[in-house]
Structure 1
């Protein structure tokens, strides 16, 4: 599979030529930049760049990757991803699907935070475990345990996420980042295949090849029980289980959202 070529083509089609001082003009028949324009901006020959996109050149140097990143105006996450594509740490092996398990000690840690929503996400952003408040935050939806399907397949998603467009873009970028460089992962194949068939919005965003590492962000929710919430989250890598992320949500002290979280906890307590 020509991952470098797919990524480069998708990203150059998103660059506005006029932002780089290039004339769009009526004769431009392709979206974004032409191959020769990327090559010129990166300081490489057009023939070399064409070979990269076609998969006939597979190992560009770090200097070439950085030059392409500048030409395509990639952000830090996308630059890291492109370097990983160009210089994978180890040969990929055919994967067999394995059940994702969460350490009981990690579950115990989350349970010790009764006023702080926390969940553990798998490599395809499924909710593998969560404390009581973390589960309650996403409860009441057909896909409460699957954040990608919640965004794209749940009829209530646009109400639950007031900033749905931004959430959708970041979710797809997060799925690409979480899936990493293993396109043969059966879980990734099944997830992307199903969503591409069922959701035109997902299919369009997946084709962009955006990369969004899930790190920290402020997100708005409209919960069916307690109304509007503004929460800040931190995403932490679970080193003992590669591919898993611990996501912890917090409200500003003294805010209406903090009161709403307390109410949600009381409403869902056993």
Structure 2
């Protein structure tokens, strides 16, 4: 993941989970609780009952039907293959049980770092944020170097401090983009961290709005204008996005879309795929 000046878009293409080169880390290292998202629960460090010997999911094509929609909205942003093939050099936890504890501890740290890489790479595609690109490239390089730390170094990493550095850059980048959207800086469009669970926002003008960290669970955003809206960390679980326009939406990720409900009329950024479970 070097050569940022040559082709920055490569980062967005490669920061996706590659299950074929991962040791099923999300299916083992992470805990989940029996709920609407998971048919059964399990503690961290215990393999999911659906994990096969080849580290593939035995019900991958039937996850929603079998009661595991939570699995379909998760993405490690490429951290799984990084930890499996780079941090631990291809030594899997089944044949090398001495790696288990360190590998499972390293995975969520690298996953957070890869998510930050995903956002930083997006900033490099934003023309209004060009004044920040030099600084962003430096921080992106620093973040990538952190992903290559040893397991012990990852365990000692002050991840919170690094997240604050990246968060400041992302905020500044979003402000530069939103500054070019008429009316985006009005108070009514600052909904950062707002509780909008179940809100009726059909056809709402949210172009350029700050919805960073907003709770939009089950909100009705049918036909809403979300162009250039800042959606970093927004909770879109079961949000209705039928016919909504998400062109240029900032920091929107595939897991957020997978958790939402849209249709064929929903306009998406080119880098994101329309979820298979959405309505035709």
TM-score, normalisation: structure 2: 0.26
TM-score, normalisation: structure 1: 0.27
Which structure has more relative contact order (CA 8 Å, sep 6+)? It is: 1
Bigger share in strand: 1
